[in-house]
Structure 1
């Protein structure tokens, strides 16, 4: 699919309700997601202010695709690889995160880490870290942001330093299409969120006030998340104005999972099956999650656990 075909696909007047058989719905989803990939790449590669179309076209196509996936049955897509989910932040973004928390230039950090971030572990401990961050965690109904919904958001601020404590917490739940009252909330086995938690609540994509507040917070301070590429991918298709702010450099993601992998030496010695860089495993090693306790997989609970664990790691490595 070329760019003109992708724009045509996104601009077409399609009513998913008229697609009644699985073959038609599956073909529509595949076409939508291919178009999304082409459109997002073209928009990202274009110089700022000279994009060939408004990013709203991408958001509207993603919204339409979720409706198609609902009608097809999202449970049938569990084995279909996510097409809109980034595997990780780029080396340049990982380097920039260090530079922001150390209050120096990307070039200074890259001189230590190398442009490929190979020695970013050395750069992290080369200078003290400080400054305000906003910790964020979301719970969703799918891995792919073009197929599922954000149903829970947790947010909290923290000024990194020797006596840092999180403050000003926010937790919100967001609704789903009515069909899930009978089908059940997808991925409830992970996040434990039930229909009763969401009934009557406004869907995240319709809650413009919450979107604006989240974007304002992330534009004011770097946002930290455990596997930040996940939140970043979802926000690209769920928050109005996020893609534009991200492209302009006003939004800076910091990946606490990458911090764990780079800074905690135990991640290189523990066996893979222990998932040493997972938040739960890391928190147990740093003493922020007690024996017998488990990660909650709820937005605000996980934000508080992440921030406490990051703080403990920074203190253990004399980085504050």
Structure 2
């Protein structure tokens, strides 16, 4: 069986998914026959299809892309944009459908993983086409903010001359689509809030002893005061806060080519263990393999780092921003010397075994969680079954760190890992977050342990009035 045979096998699940999820994230009926016809293993991009039977995003596809003339680049990019819009609307709905499948009609998440596998390579092709168009002076590609989102906008190289190819039909609709979905979600939330308010007032459940609605008392979006400024109101992130009984955890951090798990690839993953309430076990293995000078293992143990490659198309397109941020040059990672994370089953199995063994911790953990959902075989199934507990240090900073109070420079508080680690003594003031998996996982765990010790001494956080018993964290099936 080939390494990519599972993508085609995943199509066996389409019949079941069609019953549970008839519509996509935009409310449109899904054409599951079209999905079944996609070559998920071989490639769904216009160039990859013409370069078959080469592997998706392989050297043959790179050569085929470089061989296109101006009109060919235009046509391929236009077709790829259309395919991506259609496929991503399906992928975007899969998590809600899977997690909301309370009858467990859907036994597996392999179909969404297969769709994301194909979509990542499609996006690699899009990036390469954009770069080739710039090299040939067909357009100038700029990433611009449109509303609350960002998208690539193509401009003529010479505004005074006619463009070699039409640009008005080469539209990255990412921002418009995201904005439309956000507006629909807000309308649904507004409808639910209105219904809940009417029910509460009818039953007097939402009225205080003084006849004032609690929401009116605190104002919209505000809780009690902290140093003259409002605390963040409790929200969904608080489910990820640790409890009083938390001890051994695994910290994990991943570095990626971007922020979208359906478009971007994992480049680097680092993890290590630390006991929050006790000392490091005497026989625990310590691998002080940090790349940053001055990092000491301390109470951490079991350190590991995994490095991953990218497709030849991704390498050919490059990613200067990620190189500047992390020091990882993806143009040197497309030669096959490093396996791709979504093509390395052994690494996925090993990581999953660690993730289910104890709570795992991440800073802004939904980022890691979403990438794991669409990359690691078995992760989504284990998460839905309640076998995975997730703890997040971002809400610890947001809710329990007085230094994160909003100010003029940070209206929502400064809750970056860099700022949190410095406030908790895990990172010197003159140092910076390294943006590498193991190094960032380390400063996160050190900061968390320092923070929990201070909270316990002060009777706050998990030991305060609203604290939770047990290990805390987010786990399906536990309230």
TM-score, length-normalised on structure 1?
A: 0.79
Whether the 8 Å contact between 1:288 and 1:305 is mirrored in structure 2 is yes
Deviation at 1:43? Answer: 2.1
1:292 to 424, 430, 434: 430
Whether the 8 Å contact between 2:421 and 2:443 is mirrored in structure 1 is yes
Corresponding residue for residue 226 of structure 1: 363
Say if 2:450 is the partner of 1:312: yes
Q: Tell me, in whole angstroms, the C-alpha distance in 2 between the residues paired with 1:291 and 1:313.
A: 17
2:112 to 22, 42, 58: 58
Deviation at 1:287? Answer: 1.8
Superposition RMSD in Å: 3.0
1:148 aligned counterpart, secondary structure: coil
Deviation at 1:270? Answer: 4.2
Whether the 8 Å contact between 1:205 and 1:238 is mirrored in structure 2 is yes
2:356 aligned counterpart, secondary structure: helix
2:270 aligned counterpart, secondary structure: strand
Corresponding residue for residue 184 of structure 1: 318
Q: Tell me, in whole angstroms, the C-alpha distance in 1 between the residues paired with 2:424 and 2:350.
A: 32
Corresponding residue for residue 373 of structure 2: 236
Corresponding residue for residue 33 of structure 2: 8
Q: Cα deviation per residue 1:78-115 (whole Å; 9 max; x = unaligned)?
A: 624596xxx9xxxxxxxxxxxxxxxxxxxxxxxxxxxx
Q: Tell me, in whole angstroms, the C-alpha distance in 1 between the residues paired with 2:403 and 2:237.
A: 16
Q: Tell me, in whole angstroms, the C-alpha distance in 1 between the residues paired with 2:279 and 2:408.
A: 33
- Structure 2 counterparts to residues 192-203 of structure 1, below 5 A: 192-195=327-330, 196=332, 199=335, 200-203=337-340
1:277 to 415, 422, 429: 415
Q: Tell me, in whole angstroms, the C-alpha distance in 1 between the residues paired with 2:398 and 2:368.
A: 19
Q: Which has the higher helix share?
A: 1
Say if 2:253 is the partner of 1:137: yes
Corresponding residue for residue 217 of structure 1: 354
Q: Tell me, in whole angstroms, the C-alpha distance in 1 between the residues paired with 2:401 and 2:307.
A: 33
Deviation at 1:119? Answer: 11
Deviation at 1:188? Answer: 1.9
Q: Tell me, in whole angstroms, the C-alpha distance in 2 between the residues paired with 1:124 and 1:237.
A: 24
Q: Tell me, in whole angstroms, the C-alpha distance in 2 between the residues paired with 1:267 and 1:316.
A: 15
Whether the 8 Å contact between 2:314 and 2:334 is mirrored in structure 1 is no
Structure 2 portions without partners, runs of 5+? 1-21, 51-74, 131-140, 144-149, 152-173, 183-232, 281-298, 458-462, 464-479
2:435 aligned counterpart, secondary structure: coil
Q: Tell me, in whole angstroms, the C-alpha distance in 1 between the residues paired with 2:361 and 2:454.
A: 19
1:169 aligned counterpart, secondary structure: strand
Q: Tell me, in whole angstroms, the C-alpha distance in 2 between the residues paired with 1:264 and 1:139.
A: 26
Deviation at 1:47? Answer: 2.1
Deviation at 1:183? Answer: 2.8
Structure 1 portions without partners, runs of 5+? 88-115
2:430 aligned counterpart, secondary structure: coil
Q: Tell me, in whole angstroms, the C-alpha distance in 2 between the residues paired with 1:41 and 1:118.
A: 19
- Structure 2 counterparts to residues 63-82 of structure 1, below 5 A: 63-73=117-127, 79=151, 80-81=174-175
1:151 aligned counterpart, secondary structure: strand
Q: Tell me, in whole angstroms, the C-alpha distance in 2 between the residues paired with 1:230 and 1:124.
A: 16
2:86 to 12, 28, 31: 31
1:170 aligned counterpart, secondary structure: strand
Deviation at 1:208? Answer: 0.8
Q: If you compute each CA radius of gyration, which structure gives the higher value, 1 or 2?
A: 2
Q: Relative CO higher for 1 or 2, CA cutoff 8 Å, sep ≥ 6?
A: 1
Q: Tell me, in whole angstroms, the C-alpha distance in 2 between the residues paired with 1:214 and 1:48.
A: 28
Q: Do the aligned partners of residues 35 and 124 (structure 1) sit closer, same or farther apart at CA in structure 2, a change above 3 Å counting?
A: closer
Deviation at 1:9? Answer: 4.0
Whether the 8 Å contact between 1:173 and 1:198 is mirrored in structure 2 is no
